[in-house]
Every structure is written in structure tokens, then in C-alpha cells.
Amino acid sequence: MTDGAVDIPPYRYTAGMAADIEACWQDYWSEHSTFYAPNPTGPLSDPNHPRAGAPKLYVMDMFPYPSGSGLHVGHPLGYIGTDCYTRYFRMAGYNVLHPMGFDAFGLPAEQYAVQTGTHPRITTEANVERYRGQLRRLGLAYDDRRSVATTDTEFYRWTQWIFLKIFNSWFDADSQKARPIEELISAFASGERAVPDGRAWADLTPVERREVIDDHRLAYISEAPVNWCPGLGTVLANEEVTPDGRSERGNFPVFKRSLRQWMMRITTYGDRLLDDLDRLDWPEKVKTMQRNWIGRSRGAHVDFATDGDEPIRVFTTRPDTLFGATYMVLAPEHELVSSLIPAAWPASVNERWTGGHATPADAVAAYRAFAAGKSDVERQADAKEKTGVFIGAYAVNPVNGSRIPVFIADYVLAGYGTGAIMAVPGQDERDWAFAEVFDLPIIRTVQPTDGFDGKAFTGDGPAINSAFLDGLGVTEAKAKIIDWLEERGHGVGAITYRLRDWLFSRQRYWGEPFPIVYDATGLPIALPESMLPVELPEVEDFSPRTFDVDDADSDPETPLSRAKEWVEVTLDLGDGPKPYTRETNVMPQWAGSSWYELRYLDPANQDQLVAADNERYWMGPQKPGDVGGVDLYVGGVEHAVLHLLYARFWHKVLFDLGYISSEEPFRKLFNQGYIQAYAYRDDRGTPVPAEEVEERAPGQYYYKDARVQREYGKMGKSLKNVVTPDEMCERYGADTFRVYEMSMGPLDVSRPWETRAVVGAQRFLQRVWRLVVDEQTDATRVVDTALDDETRRLLHRVVDGVRVDIEEMRFNTAIAKLIELTNRVTQISAAGAPREVVDPLVRMVSPFAPHLAEELWQRLGNDSSIAYADFPVADQAFLVADSVKYPVQVNGKVRGTFEIAADAGEDAVREAALAEVAAQLAGKTPKKVIVVKGRMVSIVV
RNA sequence: GGGGCCGUAGCCCAAUGGCAGAGGCACACGGUUUAGGUCCGUGCCAGUGUGAGUUCGACUCUCACCGGCCCCA
């Protein structure tokens, strides 16, 4: 081994060589501002740039939270993908914008601050620098002038600015868009719009006016039930609470509490957020998730009269089936239950209904105790076993006056809809199952299709047993019954949403402060734009006060509230200096990521969030009806709902208010897969270092001679299976790492990491290197001899295929084609590699292995960066073959092949095929001969 | 419970309804070599999770089932 190093050729493309080359070209790119993308206007414009005014391409990755543990090899998968993609389009002539930033507010830095006293800004900035270094080392071609972090004061100034715009807007339901709040005030003042309580605007006190206006703002304070988590000391959005009522982070109990919180009126945009999904080029899966999340149901609210004071109100999507409603079910917790219970069971009550209890009150109490023992999840899981109990009361079906019994059952959830349903067993499977258990009548009101032998029929068909609805289809019947209900005051057509308003305040330190103060009335006042940014004050203690995890009655206490000198301020808001109190909540982490795609466009703009020309160029609609937006947005599917919904909402508000020309932030979305890894545990269940595990026999893994068990999952410190990009750069070089990640499969497929396979990518790049560089002498091996025809044809096929593959983000097959070409050229290059093929090969390799390509490009005699060299274009003349080989199938089996001129007519091909398999046909006349031009011939006998 | 996605060589993955193999890993062999965790070349292994159906022809389309992953409840 001592002599081994001597024998590695001195100019081989090794990890060490790669490291030198990579550092050199990374410096070159920085020094030459190679990846600056010119804006149409403003400080980042540059009319002399080679791509100024060219067709644009705006590609973004979901920016990372810069965590303290740095990147592992899974993180940059998407970044490398978009880098290859954009480098290709830059070479193809586009002005490419591909920025990267950091979602840098967040809890880990704050928790670290709580533990150590280190200011979150210090931790955050250190982590961001580390990330920048790691990403730079991978050769990612970012325009670093545009690298924003949400924690930058200059960035969150504009986050606050957007908040003010949202606060100072209302949603006009008639025009379905946000409008400035001043227009609402004018409408109230002029009487064009009625004041909710019917008084004249002039009769309202100033405070009353403010309260009316505040009730219409898109950002508003609500005394509303929220998810209070004493263990974290903060409230959580619904999305941050697990189905079993605990915090997603920390797994602490969460309680419903009524607290004053900031909300965003995202529900007003429900229809547009839903309808505009149809105009987006997004994975169907993500669209479906958003549709489910918004959860629009069209139907009606229907009131069923009771013996009590109040009717039972239900929401149903099938009001057309009202004639088949034979009983009602309330959630066990429904508020009307207590007032409806009679003292005794009605005469001759079905024993199954009572559960054997002496009185309705006993039965309800017992059932409630039973249901309370189950979580919502368990209730759903147990839903097959229908349980419930009659409460002794009846309600009146408004369409026919029949008295129908009222049950409570846990298959109806208090939190869903009105917490009550009308049960229509004929058309609902759950109701049918319940009706069977309790001997309840079943009336079909939709004629099932012929041959239907199931129970409940949920399909479409003519109405039956429904008086004036008989014969109508479901849709017409719905419309008619809703009219009927509305005329008689029994109900009203309604559209409901699952989507709730967005809880927008957090009791934390490390977030954007609200640009809001309160005066003596306790009502919020927006600060003027001139007072932005509202900077985070220094505090002694960064943590919100946390409580015993089960202390449901505790109240949030924010870290900022302790910064007394910051909270109590004297300001002149236009009517002289007065004392005010600042809002001490901060915004949630979603805030910065809800609009960052816009700031990349114009990060140095001091006067505007983004100049109109810049936004229109990069994100504006490309044709009539186009929603505009980022041309390609790549990230994990875990953000399918929240981040993408919030970003769409803010974007639409800014669009409505006229600040931007695009209706949607992300025209095309792509979900990359994950790189996962094997982890190994010893017989105590403790993870062992995955790197040191050997597979001694198939499926048998050993660590230091001890048998260990393999599992598959995420990369993480705790599983001791982390592989970092830094390690890969060290051992193989960044280009090899990039090529490996791109070649291991399609970008959207998750796959296991396998370090030992990386060497394949390295060998490929070494072969490319060897075509140009003599490993012994460092001399150039490229020659100007003519290329043989076969290699030339391969070259053009590869050029053609690689372009398509990259454009469709099939990088794995693009690289396979490049390897195929490289292997071919290696075989013909004993006496030197022909420039005719090496030149385009280096160009085609450059999106994937940019440093290597730059180096070889220079050795080929070029003196500027390959980043702006033209990507090769295939010559069609070399794509068509002279002759084609046809297989001949007889009854589906290949019986022979023949070769014939590519332009041979169909008859000639048929003749040749029949001649080829004449022996098999043995004189029989084929029933059918199918000629697939250029592909094959199939004969049926 | 509902919905969606995915099952191709030992492994990662290709294949407009048209001869199952482009590429890589691993493995084997040959050449180069004092040597090889080098380089060059050659080879190897699956009939596409299972069962039906449509078709001249199915990895590809349809249905059912099995297994894995994701979302909703």
C-alpha cells in the first residue's frame, strides 16, 4: 500500500483533484458574479448582461430552516435537481432566477436561547452561515445577492408591511376580493352599506365605529376558542394539534380555551383558493389534499322542530333525501340534549333504544360517560360498531310533519358541522348500519340503479317516496327542496367549509413583532408604514411562561410583555404624542414563507416590496388566463397544505390590492422524494453506527461481530445513520455527489442512500476527464479527427434525449444517456478523443458536474464560463436511421427478425415479414397482419 | 373506515400498448499490472407482487386480492 499512491496516475480525477477544481471554480463564479440574474429595473438590473431581456425562468426551492445540525445528504436533493434544471435552461438561452434563502425564525433557536442565554439571532446567523457554506460547496448556482433570511430586519419589515395591508383590508363578498378598509368606511358612512345592528353610521360612537370596522378586517383579534398548550406556553393552530388532542411538537396536552388572538380571515378566500386549484400545474395529490382541507360542501341547513324552545339545526349535503329522514342523531356533547330529555321514556319504547336504563337522563349520562372515554380517533375507528341511545325526545321532519326519534351517538362528532345530523338510512351507509342496530325505519328516496343489491344507495337516480320531488334527479331535487325550505322558513341553502380562519399569533420571542399598538380603548391601531420595521426588543428571558402541562386554566404570558420599556411607548400617530401599548405576540413561523417568493425578485428595493416591472417580468401571467407565479417550485409534500395554502392566500390579497400581477405564487409545483437510510439496532435496541455495519450474508448484518437488525427510515443523529454532503465532497467531490444524487432515480421517488454506490458516478466523471486529459502528462487528448458515423448518430440521439429528459426532470435517464455516450467515446479514443463529440459532451455534462465541466471547457480552449455556452442541439438528419430491424411475431411470439430500409413502404415490410416467417406459417394464410411502422410486425394465424 | 401512490434482476432504477434492459452498484471472468479497493473489456442474473379481463400484442389499460408508503377521518 505504501507504493500504491505512487501508481495512481498524477493527473487522475480523484477526490483531491476534484476538491482543487471545485474550490477554484466556486471562487471564479463569485468573483465574476456568474450567476447574477438581471432584473428589468432597479438596483439588480443590468442591460449588458448576456441574458438581459431574454425569456425568463423562475425556479425556487422551498427554503430550509437552518437547523443546528446542518445538512445531511437528503436535504440538497431538490436543490441539486433545480440547479441542474436551471443550469440547463441558462445554457438554452433563458434568463434564469434561482435564489435560495432561509426560513430562519423558529423554535429551536429560541429553545437553545432559553437553555443557554445565547441570543437566537446569534445562533440563527451562525447556522445560516454554515448552510451557505455547505450549499456553496455543492456548486449551487445561486444569485447570492438575493439570498434572504426571514429574520433579516430588512425582510421582516416587509412581512410587517404585508400584515398592515391585510389588517387594513376587508373582503368584499360581492366582488369576491379584498379591498382597502377606507372603502368600507366610506360605504358605511354614505349608507351604501348598512351597519350590522341597523343604526346609522353617524349614530355610532367612534369606538363603536372602530369595533364595526375591526370586525371586517382580514386580520382581526378574536376572543375565540383556541388550542392552548400550557406545556409550551403558547396557542397552536388546528394544524399543529394531533388528532388525539396533543401538540405536534412536544406531545403535550392541548386544551380548548377562549383567548384573545390574532386571526387571518382566510375562510373568505375559500372559494378562490379552491377554484383556482384547477388552474395550477400541481400534482393532483396536492390539489386533492388542499381541496379536502378547504372542505367545501354544498347543501342546506335544516331546522327540525322539537318540544323544547329551540329547533335542532342540521347541515346536510343531501337535502333532497329529507323525506327519508327517519331519525336524528346528535353528538353526545350537543348542547340541546339536556333541554330535550323528558323525565320518563315515552310509552312502549323499543327496548333496544333505551339501553336498559330506567330514565332518559340515566341513559344519556351513561352513554356520555362511555363516549367521553374515547378520543375522536377511536370513535371513528370504532364507527363500524354502531352505538347510541334514544334520548326520549322527538323532532318533527319539516317536509311531512312526522315525529322522528332523537338519538345521541358517537358517530356524530360535536366539532363537525352543527354536531347534529338528520339520518337518512336509505342513502347513507352509516345511517343504514345504525338503523339496523336500532330497528329504525328505512325509506328509500332515490331509486337505486337496476341490479343494485347493496344497502344504502348513495348514487344518483330519480327521487321516490318524496312527494313533490318524485322523479327529479339529485341535483334538481336539491335545488327544489332548498327553495321549498327557504320559502317556509324551515331551512336555508348553505355552503360550509372545513377550513377555519388562520390563528396568527404566538406567545414566543423569535418571530416577527406585530406593527400594532393599543390605545386606551384596548382596540388595535395599525402603525404607519413609516414606523416599520418594528424591531424585536432585547429581553432577558426568551421563553414564554410555561405551565404544568395539565393546567388548562393558565393564561399565556409572552416574552415580549416583559420588555416593559418597549411595550409602553409614546407615539405621535397624527394627533399628538400619546401613550400606547404594543402588541406582544409575534407572528407564526408561516409568515415569512408566505411571501418570500416575491422578495427574491427585488431584495434590495428600499421603497417597495417588489417593483411592479420586476414582478411582472418574473411572475406575471404568460398568456391570457394564466395565473402567473414561479415557473417551478420544488419541495417536499409535507408542505402540501399549510405553507402552500397560506402563501396562496397572501398572494391573492396582494393581487387584489393591486401590488402584484400574478394571481398565484407557484404556477407549477413538484414534490421531490426523500433520501432515506438504513439504520441498525443491536439486540438491546440501541442504534449502532450504520457506516460500520457489514452484510455477511443476504439479510444478515453484523456490527463488530454482533448480529444487528436493519430498519429503514429517516436519516438522523439518533439513528446513527447520518451521511453529510461535506463527507461526500471530501471522499468523492461535489460533482460526483451531484451526479450520484441525480442518477439514483427520478427526483420524485424516495430511495435509500447507499454510499458504496457513489463510486459509479465517480468512475463516470473520471472517464469524461480521461477523454480530455492525459492522466500521466496532463496533456490534452482531444483531437480534430473526424468522428465515425455510428458515434455521431449516438451523439445526436443522446443530445436529443438529454434535452427532453432534463426538461421533464428525468435526470437519472439523462445521466444514463451521458454515461452511454461516454463509454462509447472511450472505446474509440485510444488515439485521442474527437472534439466533435467531446465538446458537446462536456456541455451536456455541465449542468450535473459544473466544476469538472468548467475545467474541461477551459482545457478545450474556451476562456469564458460554460454556464452561458449554448446547450447542444441535435441535428435531425442523424436521428433517423437508414434501416430498421423488425421483429416478426406469430400469434404473439417472436419468430424471426429482418432488416429493411427505414423508408420502406408498409407493403414491402409486410412482404418481408411474411417471407421471414414463411416456415412457421407453413403455407397457411394469415388472418391478420399488423404492421407497426418502425417497430414490429405481428401476424395472426 | 375513506382516498391516493408504488411493487421490474441480489440492490437502485430504464422501457410513446410493440423483441423486458438504457445506466449504475454488487458479483464473476479476461486483458493491463510486481501488485490492485486502478483502468479497459466481457459476462451474469428477472419474464415485471398474485389472479382474472381487454387486445393481434400488456411492465404499461380495467377489476379483484396481497404487500409497502402517504393523506384524510
Long-range pairs of A204-208 with CB within 8 A, sequence gap ≥ 24: A207/A521, A207/A523
Q: Residue A11 in contact with residue A776, Cβ under 8 Å?
A: yes
Q: Mapping DSSP to helix (H, G, I), strand (E, B) and coil, where does residue A729 land?
A: helix
pLDDT in tens, A313-329: 998 888 999 999 999 99
Q: Residue A465 in contact with residue A447, Cβ under 8 Å?
A: no
Determine the distance between A831 (CA) and B43 (C1') in angstroms: 27
Cα distances (angstroms) measured from residue A521 to each of A210, A525, A556, A894: 10, 10, 21, 88
pLDDT of residue A5: 41
Q: Is residue A719 pLDDT above 90, yes or no?
A: no
Whole-angstrom distance, CA of residue A297 vs CA of residue A316? 9
Strand B close residues, chain A 219-258, CB < 7 angstroms: 243
Determine the distance between A735 (CA) and B41 (C1') in angstroms: 26
Determine the distance between A82 (CA) and B36 (C1') in angstroms: 39
Strand B close residues, chain A 751-810, CB < 7 angstroms: 751-752, 754, 756-757, 759-761, 763-764, 766-767, 770, 810
pLDDT of residue A457: 79
pLDDT of residue A813: 93
Q: Which residues contact A74 (CB under 8 A, 6 or more apart)?
A: A674, A675, A676, A677, A714, A715, A753
Strand B close residues, chain A 889-928, CB < 7 angstroms: 889, 891-892, 894, 897, 928
pLDDT, mean of residues A520-545: 90
Strand B bases with any atom < 7 A from protein Cβ:
1, 3-5, 10-16, 18-20, 22-26, 34-36, 38-41, 56-58, 70-73
What is the DSSP annotation of A577-611? EEEEEE---B--THHHHTTHHHHTTSTT-SS-SS-
Q: Residue A362 in contact with residue A331, Cβ under 8 Å?
A: no
Query: Is A698 or A663 the better-scoring residue by pLDDT?
Result: A663
Inter-axis angle of helices A850-859 and A734-743, nearest 10: 120
Query: Is A584 or A411 the better-scoring residue by pLDDT?
Result: A584
Determine the distance between A724 (CA) and B71 (C1') in angstroms: 30
Whole-angstrom distance, CA of residue A381 vs CA of residue A411? 10
CA-closest candidate to residue A272, choices A290, A299, A289? A290
Burial A847-861 (b: 16+ CB within 10 A, else e): bbbbbbbbbbbebbe
pLDDT in tens, A618-658: 999 999 999 999 999 999 888 888 899 999 999 999 999 99
Determine the distance between A711 (CA) and B41 (C1') in angstroms: 38
Q: Is residue A4 pLDDT above 70, yes or no?
A: no
C-alpha cell at A540: 432577558
Determine the distance between A632 (CA) and B46 (C1') in angstroms: 37
Whole-angstrom distance, CA of residue A108 vs CA of residue A803? 42
Backbone region of residue A769 per phi and psi (left: phi > 0; alpha: psi in -120 to 50; beta: other values): alpha
Q: Is residue A859 pLDDT above 90, yes or no?
A: yes
Q: Residue A321 in contact with residue A446, Cβ under 8 Å?
A: yes
Nearest nt to the CA of A699 via C1' is: B10
Q: Is residue A764 pLDDT above 90, yes or no?
A: yes
* B35 closest protein residue (CA to C1'): A4
Whole-angstrom distance, CA of residue A863 vs CA of residue A786? 24
C-alpha cell at A761: 458516478
Whole-angstrom distance, CA of residue A735 vs CA of residue A758? 11
Indicate yes or no: strand B within 7 A of the C-beta of A358: no
Whole-angstrom distance, CA of residue A145 vs CA of residue A142? 9
What topology does CATH give the domain A297-496? Answer: Isoleucyl-tRNA Synthetase; domain 2 (3.90.740)
Q: Is residue A509 pLDDT above 80, yes or no?
A: yes
Indicate yes or no: strand B within 7 A of the C-beta of A309: no
pLDDT of residue A543: 78
Q: Give the Cα-Cα-Cα angle A415, A417, A419 (nearest 5 degrees).
A: 60
Q: Is residue A416 pLDDT above 80, yes or no?
A: no
C-alpha cell at A931: 404492421
Query: Residue A7: pLDDT band by 50, 70, 90 thresholds?
Result: low
Tracing cell 399543529 back to the chain, one arrives at A240
pLDDT in tens, A246-282: 887 778 888 877 788 899 999 999 999 999 999 999 9
Q: What is the ipTM of this complex?
A: 0.93
Inter-axis angle of helices A734-743 and A758-772, nearest 10: 120
pLDDT, mean of residues A677-705: 78
Cα distances (angstroms) measured from residue A938 to each of A344, A895, A900, A903, A928: 82, 10, 16, 19, 8
Q: Is residue A376 pLDDT above 80, yes or no?
A: no
pLDDT of residue A212: 94
Strand B close residues, chain A 35-64, CB < 7 angstroms: none
Nearest nt to the CA of A284 via C1' is: B4
Domain parsing of chain A, residue ranges: 162-268+507-590, 297-496, 676-713, 881-940
H-helix segments, A382-489: 429-438, 474-488
Indicate yes or no: strand B within 7 A of the C-beta of A817: yes
pLDDT of residue A327: 92
Mean pLDDT of chain A: 88
Whole-angstrom distance, CA of residue A77 vs CA of residue A747? 8
Determine the distance between A407 (CA) and B14 (C1') in angstroms: 59
CATH, domain range A881-940: 3.10.20.590
